[in-house]
Amino acid sequence: MDTIKPTQNFAVCTYATKSYLHAWNQMIRRVCAAVSHLESGHFIFSTDESKEAKNAAKFLETELPANWKIHTICHNIPDDTAENYKKQSQYIIAQIQGSAFAAARKLKCDYVWSVESDILVPPDAL
């Protein structure tokens, strides 16, 4: 397995609509612990335009290490209550995941760590 070097461009990508932000604070703290040894990086958060998503982005600003850059991508998703694993919800997931990965490519990231919003990674996950 490769070791991430300080000169490499690293990004964490996550994506969630307002209905999937229930573990956000804990997830962010866990991710911050896992990336704390890196000098800098990008955090790409793809989400909806809800009040809950805006609050999640603000929380992210207070928790990430100082040299990290935050990129928030907001999508117009009027209703995120589609039934899980059905066509409409899969389209939403594809839209928000795809835009996060596209942003990482645009930033020319060498590594991307995709973390779902309800996954609590261990501090040594990276």
Query: Tell me, what DSSP letter sits at residue 103?
Result: H
Q: Kindly report the pTM of this predicted structure.
A: 0.88
Half-sphere exposure of 93 (CA within 13 A, CB side): 13
> How confident is the prediction along the chain (126 residues), in pLDDT tens digits per residue?
466 555 579 999 999 999 889 999 999 999 999 999 898 999 999 999 999 999 999 999 999 988 899 999 999 987 666 566 567 778 888 899 999 999 999 999 999 999 999 999 998 898
Per DSSP (E only), the strands in the chain are: 10-16, 41-48, 68-75, 111-114
